[in-house]
C-alpha cells in the first residue's frame, strides 16, 4: 500500500512553512536528527543556506541520500580496517549536549556535497 506524503511545519528565517515528503524520507530524516542531536528547523536551515536551485523538499531528499551514503561508506571502510587489524576495545563516545553540539563529519560532508552539487546545476 502506498502511503500518502506527510507534512511537517518548520521555521526558516522566522517564517513558518510546510514541507511535504514521503513517509520513508521523514523516517530517514528523523534518524539523522536523532543521530546528530539537532532539531528539524536547524537541519532545514543548514540546507536552506546552501541551496540555490532545488526546492527545499528536493534538497532535503538529496542531503538525506548523501548522509546515508557517507555512513555506508564509513561503515564499509571501518569493516575493512577491522578485518586487517586486531580488535581494540574502546569506551563508547559520550553524547554531547544538544546546546553545545557540533555536527558530525558525515552530516557536514553531506551538506557540503549538496552545496557543490547545487553549484553545478
CATH value of 6-75+102-120 in 1.10.3990.20, 3.20.20.10, 1.10.3720.10, 3.40.50.2300? 1.10.3990.20
What per-residue confidence (pLDDT) applies to 1? 59
User: Three-state secondary structure along the chain?
Assistant: CCCCCEEEEEEECCEEEEEEECHHHHHHHHHHHHHHCCCHHHHHHHHHHHCCCCCHHHHHHHHHHHHHHHHHHHHHHHHHHHHHCCCCCCCCCCCCCHHHCCCCHHHHHHHHHHHHHHHHC
The structure's pTM equals 0.76
Successive 10-residue mean pLDDT values, the chain, 121 residues: 87 94 97 95 95 95 96 83 60 45 82 88 60
What per-residue confidence (pLDDT) applies to 103? 75
Amino acid at each position: 500500500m502506498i502511503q500518502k506524503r506527510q507534512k511537517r511545519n518548520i521555521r526558516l528565517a522566522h517564517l513558518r512553512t510546510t514541507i511535504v515528503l514521503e513517509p520513508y524520507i521523514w523516517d530517514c530524516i528523523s534518524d539523522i536528527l536523532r543521530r546528530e542531536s539537532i532539531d528539524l528547523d536547524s537541519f532545514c536551515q543548514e540546507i536552506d543556506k546552501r541551496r540555490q536551485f532545488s526546492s527545499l523538499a528536493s534538497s532535503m531528499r538529496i542531503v538525506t541520500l548523501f548522509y546515508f551514503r557517507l555512513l555506508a561508506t564509513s561503515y564499509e571502510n571501518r569493516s575493512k580496517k577491522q578485518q586487517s587489524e586486531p580488535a581494540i576495545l574502546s569506551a563508547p563516545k559520550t553524547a554531547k549536549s544538544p546546546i553545545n553540539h557540533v555536527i558530525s563529519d558525515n552530516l557536514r560532508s553531506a551538506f557540503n556535497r549538496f552545496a557543490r552539487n547545487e553549484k553545478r546545476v
